[in-house]
Amino acid sequence: MGFTLMELLVGMAIMAVVLTALLNYFLQGTRVSTQSGSRAELQQEILNAQQLIAGKLKEAWYVYPPGQVINMTSTELTRRPAGGNNWQVGTDPILAMVLPPKVPSVSCATNTDGCYRFLAYYPVKRSLWVSSTSTDSWRNPGPDDANGETWVLAEYRGNIAPGAGGTPPATPPSVPTGNTANILSDYIAPTVATTGFTTTSPIDNTYTMFTYKAANGLAASATNPVSGVTINLATTRKTGGTTLRLPNPTDEYSITVYPTNLGKIAAN
């Protein structure tokens, strides 16, 4: 005895429900796998960047204090997320330092390899960075329109001749200009309210990227030298229809570093 038309239709409907459930299951598994891979990649990249900055900071001969204006170039690769190329330490998210010479006996002209080395770490809006670097350059992380409002963390460096060593100078050393910035880490969570990524309500996950300490507990300044820096970083990315933010929706990866070479010519 064969199946009636009604029985066939019911069977097909049941089969469609089963297949839809299986498809949703596999799609969900794929999304979870993609998100897990992206989470691990984001976490590893930002922790590597934080450790690299911390390592350089430990060597620092001088750390530029809050209130100091840093102008590296007039290009987009050193442009503040808020606009303009004049960064103010303590107000804008920038960390600038001078490392002691690799070769203590070197004659410190600014074009001499091994001389005092200026380093600055700061964010640039991702879409601006991508559009301002060559598409075939290793510095270009590639377009990602969904995440264009996130930031990249950049490193700017150059040789510098600040004069004799000894105690850190009362006047901040001149910043070397016209060098090229390099990308250090991708998908940095903006420190300020940014649609789709950083909010002030219902949760506030704005943050300060670099905070400065002085040995006497008062505010660090040009006359009250920096003795320690706390590096706060968070990473975020829209992927698979979900916005990931690490380490979690409200916090940052934080580490405090106390440089051990302030005012010393040779690194320990």
Tell me the average pLDDT across 240-266.
90
Kindly report, residue by residue over 211-224, the tens digit of the pLDDT.
999 999 999 998 89
DSSP 56-77: HHHH-SEEPPTT-EE---SSGG
Nearest to 115 by CA among 128, 129, 103: 103
pLDDT of 165? 47
Kindly report, residue by residue over 135-158, the tens digit of the pLDDT.
999 999 999 999 999 999 999 999
Does pLDDT of 185 surpass 60?
Answer: yes
- If you average pLDDT over every residue of the chain, what do you get? 87
pLDDT of 108? 59
Percent of the chain residues topping a pLDDT of 90: 66
Structural element, H or E, at residue 46: helix 5-59
Does pLDDT of 112 surpass 60?
Answer: no
Does pLDDT of 268 surpass 70?
Answer: no
- Domains of the chain, by residue range, sit at 5-257
Q: Is the dihedral of CA 116, 265, 233, 217 positive or negative?
A: negative
Nearest to 85 by CA among 74, 96, 94, 77: 74
